[in-house]
Each structure stands twice: as C-alpha cells, then as structure tokens.
Structure 1
Amino acid sequence: MSGFLKLGIRPAFIDALKENGIIEPTPIQQRAIPVLLNGKDAIAKAQTGTGKTIAFVLPLLETIHPEKNEIQALIITPTRELAIQLTSEVKKMIVHAADIKVLAVYGGQDVIAQMKKLEGTVHIVIGTPGRLLDHVRRGTIQLSSVSKLVLDEADQMMMAGFLGEVEEIINCTSPSRQMMLFSATMPEPIQSLAARFMHEPEMIEVRSPQLTVEDIEQMLIETTDRKKQATLCKLINNSHPSMAIVFCRTKRRASKLNESLKAQGYITEALHGDLSQAKREEVMENFRKGKIHLLIATDVAARGLDVEGVSHVFNYDIPHDVESYIHRIGRTGRAGQKGIAVTLVTPKDDMYLKKIEKSGISMEKMRSASSKHNKK
C-alpha cells in the first residue's frame, strides 16, 4: 500500500506522483499532510529540497471543489521563479484531475491578460505579493472565498520587504481560512505574523537530508572590504571551479560584482530579482549547460536552485544566520559529490561568524587566497 494512500491522498494524485517518479512520502510530507488534511493551521520549518511543495499542494488539491466557480486556495510566494515552479508542480499533480484550474499571477506578465484569465474558472491562484495586491486593488481578483492560504518561503518574503502586502492580502481572505506557513527560518516578524493571523498552529520541523554538510569542505578567509574582490579573484584563479555560485547580500552588490568580473574576463552572469523573467531563465539554462562558470546570486534568487555539478560556493558576503549559511553551501556537495565552500570574512562580520560557529559548524581558516585549499 502506497505511503501516500495511507496518508489519505486519493489514487488520481498518487498516479500523478508515480508518473513523476515519486513513490514514498518524505518526512515533511508524512508529518504535514495529515495535519493539513485535518484542516489545522500549520507552521512548517523546512528547507528547499525536503519535498515541502508536495506537502502542502496535495492537501490543497484534496479539498478543492471543481464544481464551485471560485478561488478556493491561494499560495503566496516571494519570486516569479517560485510562482512558475509551483504552478508547474501543481499542473503535474492534476493531470488526472483536469477539472481543477490553477493560475499563476506575478509581475512581468501582461496584467490585462491576467485579468481575462481571472474572469474564467480558477480554483487555485499562485502569485507574488505585489501583483496579487495590484489585482485586489483593481477589483479583478476576489479572495473572500479563499479557505486555504499558503505562505511559501515566508522568511524570503519578509527579507524582500513584502510583509505589509502579505498582511493586506491575508485580510482579504475568508476569516475562517486554514493557513499554512512554510519557511526555512523563523525570524521574529514571521513569528509575529503567525501569532496575529493563525489559529493554534501545529509546529512541524524537518531537517533536510540533502543539506547535510559532511561532503562539503568549509573554509573561511579573512579579508577587508577593500581587498574582498581581489581575494575572490585569487580564490577563483587558484581553485579553477568547474561551476561555482558566488553569493552576495544585495541585488546591487551582485550586479556590481558581476560587471567587474566580466570586465576582467571571467565567464559570469548575475541572478537576482531585478532581471526580467526571460533573462533569469536564460541565465539558469546557460549555467546548467556549463556556458557560465560563475553565477553571482542573491539568496532570494537562489531559493529552490538545484543544479548538479556545482563544485564551489563562495560566500562573498557572509550570510546573517545559520540556516542561510547551510542553504547556500548546500548548493554544492550534492548527490554524493564533494564540494568546497569558502566564506570571505571582514572585521565587521565577526558577529555573524560567531553565530554560525556557535551552531557547531567549523570552518577551516585559510592563511591566504593563494593557499591550496582543494585537499588531496
């Protein structure tokens, strides 16, 4: 008997899962699906790669009434990439339930075309806060019938400054809604949001088996803001990464570093929220194919980024919390491969470094960027 059947998922969706190579539920799915099918609010702390999307999509699909011509479920997500990715996942799940209609609503799309689609039958809407709110204010989307609300990557929505928009959208949904909040980290504003809008939520926490760091050699190198870029270039020149991701704190820093590295002859592209959707897809495709050696990314842009063969991760800017650190370095050392993660640390980063080290993570200190760090 299928593990999903035991959890209460109907055969039509189990068949769709099998067709996508998913046979047994992951720990987050085993824990979240029964809670959500019971109609309870839930806060799930789970990283990318744990199977969290299916953990909330399946219970949503189980409760949709296709005969009702109204929006019954709303999934809010911080970026266009995630909205597209989630919509694609949902469509895979409903191949044998074609009467369920799903629509992605995000910026960068023609708003008039979206308005026309919203006039038709839509049961599930997956969207970014800005564009959703735009439709709410125009009166082109009706959310009062929404009884299932998911906030996906809630911490990233907060980091991107969407908290106000998210609260406004929540207030438009049914007061008796069931709410599900999925987040890799639980900063105070997220806890506060949960306290205000959720009813006795069940807490679910699952560690991702894909984000163990045993196969990743972790190093740190002390530098200064002035020498940081030269240090990174030395590291790249000495380690010759086949594919590497360089993490920057902001879009502006990612753009600036990308332009500078390009001018020096490196084969590099930036990945951040200011790029058009077409450009982001092109960058990711080129990176996967190995046409780009260095991807200069922000945390938000790299959420859900799953690319095989990344040999190195460089933290150009140190992450501000342990979960972000693990998420970043987890882009390498995947599928049994060894990976290398190097974090550049300036004197003012001491507080963040101590926070990471206090969690039990230890990074080997490199004497200089020229020192050999790819151990034999």
Structure 2
Amino acid sequence: MDAFRLLTRSTNFKKPAASAAPAAESANRLPSAGTATNPQLFRSAEADELESKHGKKRKRVAATEDDGVNAADLDFFHSTKRSVAPASGSAPSKTESNQTVEQQDDDSDEEDTMDEVECRTILNSHKIKVTDLRDLSEIQPTPAAPAASEKESKKKKKKSKKEKTPELSKKEQKRARRMYPQPLVSFKELRSRYKISGRLANNVAEQGFTMPTEVQLGALPLLLGDSTGSTSKNGPEPDLLVVAPTGSGKTLSFLIPVINKIVRHHHSNTDEHGILSVVVVPTKELASQIVNEGRKLVANTGVKITLMKKGMRVVEGEADAPGEDSGESGSEEEDEERDDDNKPKKAQKNLPVTKSDILVTTPLQLVNSLSANQTKQVASMPLVRSLVLDEADVLLDPLFREQTLDIWRSCVHPDLRVSLWSATMGSNIEELTRSIIKERLENIGQDSNSVHPLVRLVVGLKDSAVPNIDHRLVYAATEQGKLLGLRQLLHPTAASATDVRLRPPFLIFTQTIPRAVALHSELKYDIPAEAGGSSRIAVLHSDLSDNQRSDIMRDFRKGEIWILVTTDALSRGLDIKGLNGIVNYDIPNSAAIYVHRAGRTGRAGREGGIAVTYYTKEDIPYVKSIANVIDASEKLRGTDGEKSIQRWLLESLPDLSKKDKQELKKHGVKARQISKHIGGKDKDKEQEEREARRARISTKSGFERRLENRKKGAIAASRNRKAAAADDDAVSDDGSWDGIGN
C-alpha cells in the first residue's frame, strides 16, 4: 500500500462541537497562565484516601512537635533528646517534655508506617515500579546457619550441587525483584520521618513544594532511607537508575539527598573539606539551571554549589590549567568565557583549588581539569561520595561515554553512591551500569556483592512522552508546506487547515545549525513592529559564544523573546514553566529525542501544552516510531475523545530497520544532508541543485531567486572590476615601467 497516497487523501474528521466556554477559560489551560494545581500525573481515589489518612496523622503530630521549638537550639541529628519550651499554661519539666516528644515520635512512626499492601496500592496507583537489579541469590540470601565443621560444609556443598533448584519463570523473577518502599506522601515527612536538616526543610517549604511528584514520592525515600544512620524499612541508600517523564521533578529528587548528606558530613567530619558530590550533565544551559535551583536549597545550610568553568582546579597537583592545547575539539559546552580568555596562562596555573561541596559540570570540562600534563591519565577525587548523571542516556552515549566513565572511575571513595536520571533509558545503560559498578568495586578491593543494591525506578511507561500535553502530527508534503504551516502558527487569526493554535512563547527545533539560522532569517520579520518586530524571534545554537547563549536564554525566560529557533542543544533538561508548546520543524532523529523535545512543555503537571510535528514526503519512513510514542502517551492519559494518531496511519507507515535507525540517529534525514560525493565521484550539478531545493527553507519562487542571484552576481562583478582597477592604479603609481607611451 502506498503510504504517500494515504497521507495525501482527503479525510473528513468529525469536528468537535463548539464549546460555549469563554476565552478566558481556555487561556487558563495554557502552561504560561499560572502554576499547576496538581504536579502529579497519575493517581487514583483509593490512593488519595490512603494518603489523606496518613497525611492527617502526620500533620497533627508535626503540629504538636513543632510548637515552641527554638530553631537555634535544635539539634538536627539527635532527635531523641530535645529541649522543648512550654507553649502555654504550666511548664513541664525537661524530662517530661523530652519523654512526650519521644513518645510522639514513636507514635508518629507507628501511625504513619504503612504496611506492604498500602505501599503497593499507592505505588501502583501512581504507576511507580521499583525493581532490584541484583541477582536473585543476592536479593533472597539463604538464612544464616550455625557454624559447622569443614567436613560437614563440604558434604553440604556436594549435596547442593547434586540437588537441582527449580528455575523460576520470568513472571516469578519479576515478582521476586519488585520492591515496595515506603512512599513519601508529603514533604513534611522529610523532617518528621527522615530527619533531614531543618534549614534544608525550610528551604524546600519556601520554594512552595507541598505535594511530591511521582518521582519524588518514590525516589526520595530510597535515597534518604539510611540518612539517620539506622536501618529503615527502605533499607540502605542504593545505586539508583530513574526513568521518569520530563518535568516530573527529577532535579529536586537528587538535590535534596545530596545536600542532606553533605550537611551530615559537615557535622560529623569537620576536618575534611573538598568536593563531596559531582553532578554531570550534557549541556551548559542545564548545568546553569541546576546550579540556580541548588542555590535556593543550600541557603543557610553551609553547603556550597558551584558551576564548573574553564580554568577551574578541582584537585591538588594539577600541572597545567585545563583546556590549554588539550588536543580535543571542544563541543558546545566547552566554549571559553570572556573573563578566562583575558587571563594569562601563568595566572590560570596558579589558581587555587575550588572550595565547593557540590560541583555541577559537563563531561569534557571536568576531564580536562582532572587530566595532568596533557596526558590521558585522570586524577582521582577521593572525597566524592555522590555521583549524579543527569540525562544519563546521553552521557553514556558514544559521544560522551569515555569522558563520563573517566569521571566515574576517578571517584574512588568506597562509599560512593551513583544515581542515573533520564526520561529515556535503554537496557544497554542498565548493563553498562552494572558492569562499571562491579569493575569499580574490584579495583578498590571491595566485595562485588555489596550491601548497597542497584535499584531501578520507573514512573509511567518507560521511554514515553508526557501524557498531559496534546500531540499533533501534521503532514506538510514539502519544505514550503512546513514553512507555510509554521507561519499559520505565528498568525493564529489566519485560517488553518490543521486547526492547530499555539500561542507564544514556544520553541522551534530544526535538524542542523544552518537550517536553524535559515529559518530564523525567514521568520525574522513575521511579527509586526508594533509587537516588537524581529527582537521577539531569536536563534540559539552551539556556534554562538557562551555570553550570547546566556543573554538569549535570559531574555527568553524574561518574556522579551517569544519564539526561539534552536537545535537539540535545548531539547534536554531545560525547565521553562511558562512554555506553551514546541514545534518540530524537522522530524526528530529518534523517538527518545521526540520525548525530550515534547517534554519542554507541560512541566510539573501543567496542562494545555502542545507539541506540533511537521513531516514531509521524505520523512515518511521515519514517522512510525514517533507516531507510536504519541499513541502510547494518549493511551496513558486515557482520553475518550478522538485520537490524534489514526489507526490507518499506524498501519500504513513503514517500519524502519535497525541499521536505518542508527543512521538516522547519527546523521538525521538524508534528504537534508547535502553531500558533494557519492561513491567517491562528484555529483552532477543538477542533482546538487535538486537536493538544495528540497532542503531549502524559503517560500520564494525559482524566478524570484534567479533575479536575486543575477542581482547579486552583478554586484559582485562590479566590486571585482573596481578592485582590479584599484590594483592597476597601485601598480602604475609604484614607479615601474608602464610602456612606451609613458
């Protein structure tokens, strides 16, 4: 069946009935209209009843516990002995008050502790799946037997070899690996149950966080389970792999445990100072965003969070400043800042080691800083106890893998805990994580069967798009059709065949930097001058300097720029809460990239965001994976209305081979790659012109372009003639022989 004929045929869809709701009501659904009422994506009535039941008990206990407590005299890490001032009436003695506080703490633990059935109900209703990735023998060890002699032990070993243990089916293995940790129902539990620092708890409350999202509900108890030093229901802190939708609060989920661990370390070990935690991210914009969020949480806690910059020293004994003739071509994250360019090399070498507790960095910057004498040897960071890999699937992709693994291996502390976070994570990342953890434990001489497990936490469907936004897949046939469709989005009053309405601010994604620049030049004057004109549209890509990129992002966040044309440099981690939607002008290179692009809108449970994807005839072979992601997202949302992806479309689109998927992921759509050689032979000029016309972003006709080219050619020829005449005059004035006539 010809997919092109199916896509171009007329389809009469039933138009929804005109709603009588006022325009203001529809405007309130936009992500830019305000904050989300509920940041959770999934929930059920049964889970709400359980959470409210435990939340009321917790609220009453917290109120009696906090009455009259002096924050200056509060000991954060010795909860059994507290001095509580009387609230009113006769003042009880200190021993009586301490006993009542201890009794309240014990009662709160008894009342708030859920049994396994309640934990399972809440986790399943929020679509949270926690799995232990260790071997079954490590998860369910045999009970300890009394000491026996060597002969008896040898006999038991022989018997165990002869006796064949029954093999479990796949379903039984999955059940055995499933975990149901105590969920975090309210952020108040961070203080009452997990005993985090009071100042950190106040900072969390000041940011307005009251109801935890799904990833926070499941991940924070796992990472804070052993924060008090005692064995809790959730066990010791594990190595964690987290797959959660975009905008679900992953940054807060790993920052709170990291900061709390450092606060405890400062109280217990005052002599050790240095980098205790490292957060690695793929882009500089994401690193700056994490530092800004972290500074709000570390206020008044004594913890310092720092953004890695070129020229910064992180360990003692570095011979050369990082980045000087390193022999590597820096990527978009390693552009040098203006202040560092003006510093002499000697001044950079004599820079002191940074005094920070948390370092947020991109891979190549930290590897260059750890490399000594411009060699491949990487210095170790012995104090690092927490390593966070945000957007781990990109960091462990071949582009960044070696640099990320060098950082991982440089963390040699025996108590190092690693957490990997992303909205998309393949099974190869899990296998690589297990092998690296095992290799690191062997290198430091520690038993591979560690007490700390490797746990995977998945929220919703793995590798699926966020379900609270609308997805639109629009067939535009040609490049000119895409540009016309995009202009209809810029002018919402114009008639639109696709009935898509998208209000600024929004992002436009293209496949390459030249296409982003060309699209920006086409749209530059589409906004009228009275609305701000060309200043409302900007382009951002990795060829710009750091200062240009930071200025553009600042203006975009402030609302001075309405439309930002960009590449996949901004497809991951960027958190702009007021973003109304995104436009995939060029089809994404993979389903994972589509998930991250679409996730720039609909953050923290906000509804009303739109993800529009245009595709042409050349894109048809690559559409099915994206259509499947959209279909799965709509099923996850459970909409009863008409779906944006029709059944006939899924059946008619062709499947893509594994080799073609890899080629698409590396190079993008072939129709937009203008290469000059095929099989070692030069192309014909006609073929090059045809490819250029297909990939051109413009609505001008060929006749108009020929006139422009002729005019440009005439201007260039005139300049060449003037330059040649000027050269002749210069030679004649030089005193040399100019002929007989002179």
Q: TM-score, normalised by structure 2?
A: 0.44
- Percent identity (aligned): 30
1:279 aligns with 2:561: no
Matched with 1:128 is: 362
Contact residue 71 and residue 142 of structure 1 kept, 8 A: no
Matched letter for residue 101 of structure 1: K
Query: Structure 1 residue 314 and structure 2 residue 583: aligned?
Result: yes
Q: Deviations over 1:24-53 (max 9, x none)?
A: 432212211232233310000123321111
Select the residue among 399, 415, 432 that pairs with 1:193. Answer: 432
- 2:548 is aligned with what amino acid? K
**CA distance 1:250–1:157, change in 2 (3 Å):** farther
Counterpart residue number, 1:372: none
Q: Deviation per CA, 1:243-286, whole angstroms, max 9, x where unpaired?
A: 33211234443233223433777642112333333322322233
Q: Would you say the 8 A contact 1:42–1:179 is kept in 2?
A: yes
Equivalent residue number for residue 353 of structure 1: 623
Question: Is 1:292 aligned to 2:545, yes or no?
Answer: no
3-state SS of paired residue (2:381)? coil
Change (3 A) 1:29 1:9: farther
Q: 1:49 to 1:333 in 2, by over 3 A?
A: closer
Number of residue pairs matched by the alignment: 362
Structure 2 equivalent of residue 248 of structure 1 = 510
How far, CA to CA, are the matches of 1:55 and 1:20 in structure 2?
A: 14
What is the 5 A alignment of 1:1-376? Answer: 1=62, 2-5=188-191, 6-37=193-224, 38-64=236-262, 65-66=265-266, 67=270, 68-98=272-302, 100-106=303-309, 107=334, 108-109=336-337, 110=340, 119-138=353-372, 142-157=380-395, 161-174=399-412, 176=414, 177-187=416-426, 190-198=429-437, 200-207=453-460, 212-214=466-468, 216=470, 218-225=472-479, 228-237=482-491, 238=494, 241-262=503-524, 267-307=536-576, 309-332=578-601, 338-359=608-629, 360=631, 361=634, 362-363=643-644
Quote the offset at 1:126 in angstroms: 1.1
Distance change >3 Å, CA 69–CA 142, structure 1 → 2: farther
With over 3 angstroms needed to count, the CA separation of the structure-2 counterparts of 1:353 and 1:185, relative to structure 1, is same
Q: 1:117 to 1:27 in 2, by over 3 A?
A: farther
Distance 1:48 1:340, change over 3 A: closer
Q: What's the CA shift for 1:105?
A: 0.5
Cα 1:214–1:93 shift into 2, 3 Å: closer
SS in 1 for 2:556: helix
- Structure-2 change in CA distance of 1:29 and 1:136 (3 Å): same
Cα deviation, residue 308, structure 1:
5.0
Q: RCO greater where, 1 or 2, for CA within 8 Å and sep 6 or more?
A: 1
State the Cα deviation string for residues 193-236 of structure 1 (Å, max 9, x = none). Answer: 3232246520111249xx75455362412323565445533553
1:16 and 1:94 in contact (8 A); partners too: yes
Alpha-carbon separation, structure 2, partners of 1:144 and 1:315: 44
- Aligned equivalents of 1:240 and 1:25: distance in 2? 30
SS of 1:171 mapped into structure 2:
helix
- SS where residue 418 of structure 2 aligns? strand
- The separation in 1 between residues aligned to 2:471 and 2:386, in whole angstroms, is 42
Q: Which has the higher strand share?
A: 1
- Structure 1 contact 216–333 (Cα < 8 Å) conserved: no
Aligned to 1:370: none
- Distance in 1 (alpha carbons) for counterparts of 2:460 and 2:542: 27
- Alpha-carbon distance in structure 2 between the residues aligned to 1:121 and 1:292: 36
Matched letter for residue 4 of structure 1 = L
Could you tell me whether the CA contact under 8 Å between 1:78 and 1:160 is conserved in 2? Answer: no
Offset at residue 20 of structure 1 (A): 1.6
- Decide whether aligned partners of structure 1 residues 340 and 60 sit closer, same or farther in structure 2, where only a CA change above 3 A counts: closer
Q: Given that residues 28 and 206 in structure 1 are in contact (C-alpha distance below 8 angstroms), is that contact kept between their aligned partners in structure 2?
A: yes
Shift of 1:4: 1.7
Cα separation, 2, equivalents of 1:125 and 1:333: 29
Q: 2: distance between equivalents of 1:102 and 1:309?
A: 26
1:156–1:300 contact (8 Å) kept in structure 2:
no
CA distance in 1, matches of 2:237, 2:609: 42
Q: Is the 8 A contact 1:41 1:198 kept in 2?
A: no
**Alpha-carbon separation, structure 1, partners of 2:354 and 2:582:** 45
Tell me by how many angstroms 1:157 deviates: 3.3
Gaps of 5+ in 1: 366-376
Partner SS for 1:292: coil
Q: Distance in 1 between matches of 2:510 and 2:592?
A: 16
Distance 1:130 1:47 in 2: 27
Give CA-to-partner distance per residue, 1:81-114, whole Å, 9 cap, x none.
Answer: 221221222222221312x232210443439788
Alignment deviations for residues 52-80 of structure 1 (CA, whole Å, 9 cap, x no partner): 11211121122222321132211101111
Paired with 1:278 and 1:160, the residues of 2 have a C-alpha distance of 28
Quick one: structure 1 residues 275 and 173, their matched pair in 2 at CA, closer, same or farther if it must change by over 3 Å? Answer: same
Q: Is the 8 A contact 2:223 2:238 kept in 1?
A: yes
Inter-CA distance 316–34: structure 2 relative to 1 (3 Å threshold): same
SS of residue paired to 1:318: coil
CA distance 1:225–1:156, change in 2 (3 Å): farther
Task: Please say if residues 502 and 580 of structure 2, whose CA atoms lie closer than 8 Å, have aligned partners that are also in contact.
Answer: no
- 1:36–1:344 Cα change, 3 Å: same
Cα RMSD for the two superposed structures: 3.3
Distance 1:240 1:7, change over 3 A: closer
Q: Could you give the per-residue CA deviations for residues 94-144 of structure 1, whole angstroms, max 9, x where no partner exists?
A: 21312x232210443439788777614322211111110110114797523
Task: Pick the structure with greater CA Rg.
Answer: 2
Who is 1:373 aligned against? none
Assess if the C-alpha contact under 8 Å between 2:245 and 2:466 holds in 1: no
Q: For the Cα contact (< 8 Å) 1:158–1:190, is it kept in 2?
A: yes
Distance 1:312 1:17, change over 3 A: closer
* Matched residue type, 1:16: N
Tell me: CA distance 1:277–1:138, structure 2 relative to 1, closer, same or farther (3 Å): same
